[in-house]
Structure 1
Amino acid sequence: MSNMTEIPKSQFEPAPRDNENNEKIEKPQLSFMKDAWLRVRKNKGAVISVIFLGFIVLMAIIGPYLSPYDGTTQDVSKSNLPPRVPVLEDFGIFDGNQVIGGVETNKYEDLNIEEYYWFGTDSLGRDLFTRTWLGTRVSLYIALLAAAIDMAFGVIYGLVSGFKGGRVDNYMQRILEVMSGIPNLIVVILMLLILEPGILSITLAMVITGWIGMARVVRGQVLKLKDQEFILASRTLGAKNGRLLFKHLLPNLSGIIIINTMFTIPSAIFFEAFLSFIGIGLQAPQASLGTLIEDGYKTFQFLPHLMVIPCIVICIILITCNLIGDGLRDAFDPKMRD
């Protein structure tokens, strides 16, 4: 023991207190929404999807004005022209050439057409570039309108059903079960018997049964949250039902609502395209992605660009909306924190 060095007592004294640094927060405080946004930015798939979807939305707004053709004027002498784009034609792509009967030909040169149709023309000689973005605008409008109405009805219905509980909840859920048993296609056919085919009838048909999924999700979350401590504390302090619903419960449901709305938009777009494809959606001369795909389907083997171009646009919208929804789901889920 004599060989061991003696440790001075000064090393056992506590460190000096620094009152300023003891309460210092090294990491800045973040709100729930800002924290979610920071995590969304780390999801490369969601960020790239936002860029692509933003481009599609921008083209739906300004695209029809970029072309010198209005998309409704018919000129049969210029029907079924293939895509022709300046500059790109010098590289041998989008140069107006197409194969007809095994023989490659250029209709622009054969008909002495000097104009450029970037996406080609349809069977009536209408510019497909303008009609594609006009159809995208209509499809997005129907989807956003249906999603907004679904969100409003579904959230309110789910809040009331889950918060009231008991007999009120039982009756409201039986109503949902009856409505969910009615196929959407039957509702659409009935709406078309009452209203003329168009944007209004399609939107109403999707709204009648589309909000059921949102209502069930919101109800399930309300049943889980309404008995937690922060709700009981607010009720003890005298908070009324309206304050509990819209001040405490609704903000805690914002993530679930946003995520379900993002998944509703592609479903509405696909449903509208399906209705237009089978011929009970929008009617001529109105254009949507569904009507363009239906027109191109008839001549797909000979003129594939008539169907491929609107199919690419609708696929981009569906894929990006789903990827953005996945990114928002991961960002709003507390279990997914880094």
Structure 2
Amino acid sequence: MINTEKRSQDLFLPAPLDSSKSERIEKPSLNYWQDSWLRIKKNKAAIVSLVVLFLIIIMAFAGPFMTPHSAREQNTKHANLPPRIQGIENVSWLPFDGQLKKKDGTVINAYQTETRQVKEYYWFGTDQLGRDIFARIWKGTQISLLIAFVASLIDLLVGVAYGAISGYVGGRVDGFMQRIIEILVGIPNLVVVILMILILKPGIIPIIIALTITGWTTMARVVRASVLRMKNQEFVLASRTLGASNAKIIFRHMLPNMFGVMIINTMFSIPNAIFFEAFLSFIGLGLQDPNASLGTLVNDGFRSMILFPYQMFIPAIMIAILMVAFNLIADGLRDALDPKMRD
């Protein structure tokens, strides 16, 4: 059966359009850093690592003041006490009850023995000299982070300036500067550290110098590659045509376009510096007693690892947490700041 119902001509007319809304942007306009922050918030591992790192940095400065014992205070009567925390000391399945396992397999309360009656609480226990490990852990974390941040900052400044000049000038100057980098890369860091210790006393300054002598070469190469890629682009040629100086072109126009690469490489260099400082202190070439760093604490705990494993495991866990946190943050920043990773 054929439908003979008449339809209105209005149904065949084009829909009315509001020209005032044709170019309206529904999504808010975001700059580069706002867009990067939105993408890094999607990376749960990076956000959790950022929170953990923030808490560790706060505890590195506040932790030594949360205990009545200083990091250098010695009390041989309280030597080698296991961790004990008030309030949870009676929870048997937690390692904070003050119990200590002897060589013959028996378990005793190290705080209440025939030779000593200790009423104080040591949250992370004590070392062989009776020093509070809780205070020394956070003091050592503070020093390790200080060395890593200072060394990474020097690497950033030297590497960026050196790589930018080398890549922008080019020619024989670039070739000569790159040969210097190749020579420095061929020198092992351990040899540099030994030379620094022979010249200077073991301490923070020789470690920072050893880290920065060869550490900036990676940053310099990355910045040089970025400068070589950008120096013939239109905005650089326009700045040169308008009479801008070479220094202004490099540091005002080119470097802001490399902030992402610089931040990522710096974030990767910080955990490397922490690990290298811990390694030097562990083999006895770093800080010396009574100064504390995470490496020296691991070295002290390693000597008595069989009887008192907590003395080595606690600083080792702290190093592992720092390494993982910095690397996860660096991975998140790399994905967020790289335009190719935009979804």
TM-score normalised by length of structure 1? 0.96
- Tell me the distance in 1 between the aligned counterparts of 2:122 and 2:167: 55
Partner of 1:89: 89
Q: CA deviation at 1:115?
A: 0.3
- Tell me the distance in 2 between the aligned counterparts of 1:106 and 1:201: 43
- Tell me the distance in 2 between the aligned counterparts of 1:284 and 1:98: 26
Secondary structure at 1:108's aligned position in 2?
A: coil
- Tell me the distance in 1 between the aligned counterparts of 2:333 and 2:5: 61
- Tell me the distance in 2 between the aligned counterparts of 1:297 and 1:288: 14
State whether structure 2 residue 165 is matched by structure 1 residue 163: no
Partner of 1:45: 45
Q: CA deviation at 1:201?
A: 0.8
Partner of 1:59: 59
Q: CA deviation at 1:9?
A: 7.1
Partner of 2:111: 108
Q: Deviations over 1:116-164 (max 9, x none)?
A: 0000000000000000000000000000000000000000001101111
Listed as ranges, the matches of 1:114-153 within 5 Å are: 114-153=119-158
Q: CA deviation at 1:166?
A: 1.0
Partner of 2:19: 19
Partner of 1:301: 306
Gapped regions of structure 1 (runs ≥ 5): none
Q: Percent identity?
A: 55
Q: CA deviation at 1:237?
A: 2.9
Q: CA deviation at 1:10?
A: 5.8
Q: Deviations over 1:220-250 (max 9, x none)?
A: 1111111122222222333322221122211
- One-letter identity of the residue aligned with 1:235: R
Partner of 1:80: 80
State whether structure 2 residue 212 is matched by structure 1 residue 234: no
Partner of 1:182: 187
Secondary structure at 2:137's aligned position in 1?
A: helix
- One-letter identity of the residue aligned with 1:175: I
- Tell me the distance in 2 between the aligned counterparts of 1:330 and 1:39: 8
RMSD between superposed Cα atoms in Å: 1.7
- One-letter identity of the residue aligned with 1:99: K
2:100 alignment partner, one of 98, 101, 106: 98
- One-letter identity of the residue aligned with 1:21: K
1:274 alignment partner, one of 270, 274, 279: 279
State whether structure 2 residue 203 is matched by structure 1 residue 201: no
Q: CA deviation at 1:278?
A: 0.3
Q: CA deviation at 1:17?
A: 5.0
Q: CA deviation at 1:16?
A: 4.3
1:256 alignment partner, one of 247, 256, 261: 261
- Tell me the distance in 2 between the aligned counterparts of 1:88 and 1:133: 22
- Tell me the distance in 2 between the aligned counterparts of 1:166 and 1:88: 68
- Tell me the distance in 2 between the aligned counterparts of 1:335 and 1:14: 41
- One-letter identity of the residue aligned with 1:259: I
Q: Deviations over 1:164-190 (max 9, x none)?
A: 111111111011011111110111111
- Tell me the distance in 1 between the aligned counterparts of 2:189 and 2:297: 22
- Tell me the distance in 1 between the aligned counterparts of 2:331 and 2:185: 25
- Tell me the distance in 1 between the aligned counterparts of 2:226 and 2:122: 52
Listed as ranges, the matches of 1:317-332 within 5 Å are: 317-332=322-337
Count of residues in Structure 1 that have an aligned counterpart in Structure 2? 337
Instruction: Summarize the Cα distance change of 1:14–1:163 in structure 2 as closer, same or farther, 3 Å threshold.
Output: farther
- One-letter identity of the residue aligned with 1:144: F
Q: CA deviation at 1:21?
A: 1.1
- Tell me the distance in 2 between the aligned counterparts of 1:216 and 1:251: 17
Q: CA deviation at 1:5?
A: 9.6
Partner of 1:225: 230
Instruction: Summarize the Cα distance change of 1:38–1:300 in structure 2 as closer, same or farther, 3 Å threshold.
Output: same
